[in-house]
Structures are given as C-alpha cells and as structure tokens.
Amino acid sequence: MSWKFDSVNPIFKQIVDELIIRIIKGDYKKGEKLASVRDLAVEAGVNPNTMQRALAEIELTGLVETKRGDGRYITEDSDIISKFKSEYTNKNAVQFLEKMKEFGFTKEEIIEYLEKIDI
C-alpha cells in the first residue's frame, strides 16, 4: 500500500483519515494486528513520532485498540465500524448538499448534475 501526502494538511491527520478509510473499506479486517509504529512509519516515509501521534489520535475513535507492550489491533466490534461508516458518509452527503444549495441549486438539479458526471 502506498502513502501520498498533500502539503496543506498535517501529515498525521492525513494518516488518520487514510487509516479510517482503509478500515471502513475493509482493507484492514476487524481484529487484525497492525504493523508496529516504527514499521508503519517506515512504510509511510514519516518520522515514528508522527505515526505515533496519528495512531494515538485514531485510538480516540474506538476503531483501533492498543494492547500495551504487544501492539495495536483493529477493533473486533463491527458495530463501531459500521456506525462510523454511516456517520462519515452521511456527514459528507449533507455537507455536499448544503454547499450546493447555498449556490442556489435544488436537490433535483444536483442529482441531475451528478448523473452527467462521468466518473
């Protein structure tokens, strides 16, 4: 897996977002053990401290759990994952709709617009 970072957002935050997406998408299975901080840092090409901070941050979401002196694991609780997924997608959709409405589009126009996009 590859890591690319833009230069406007904090790296540690980009790592958090990327990890969340990977978990939600199922790239990381529930209960799976993560690589060590040092290894992940090497893989992502960042300082171990930066990776450490990202991992500490994602811990707050409940998606990842730490076992002291052992390692980090994706949560076994699939409820948390699915809840997180629906929250995340819903937030995206609502934000998008609100932004577009602010520009004067109706929902019908927005949907019509999306259908035209070739992606």
Partner DNA sequence: GTGGTCTAGACCACT
Partner DNA sequence: GTGGTCTAGACCACC
Residue written as token pair 């199922």: 26
Out of DNA, a copy of itself, none, what residue 89 binds, judged by CB under 5 to 8 A for its kind, is a copy of itself
Partners of 67 in beta bridges: 71
Nearer to a copy of itself, 42 or 94 (CB): 94
Q: Do 67 and 112 form a contact (C-beta atoms < 8 A)?
A: no
Please identify, among the stretches 7-15, 18-26, 79-87, 95-103, the one whose residues bind DNA according to the rule CB under 7 A.
Answer: 7-15
End-to-end CA distance of the chain: 23
CA distance 36 to 72: 8
Question: Which two structure tokens, joined as six digits, stand for 54?
Answer: 């990202």
Q: Which of 13, 91, 99, 101 binds DNA (CB under 7 A)?
A: 13
Out of a copy of itself, DNA, none, what residue 83 binds, judged by CB under 5 to 8 A for its kind, is none
Interacting positions 50-69 with DNA (CB under 7 A)? 50, 52-53, 55-56, 59, 66-69
Residue 4 interacts with DNA (CB under 7 A): yes or no: no
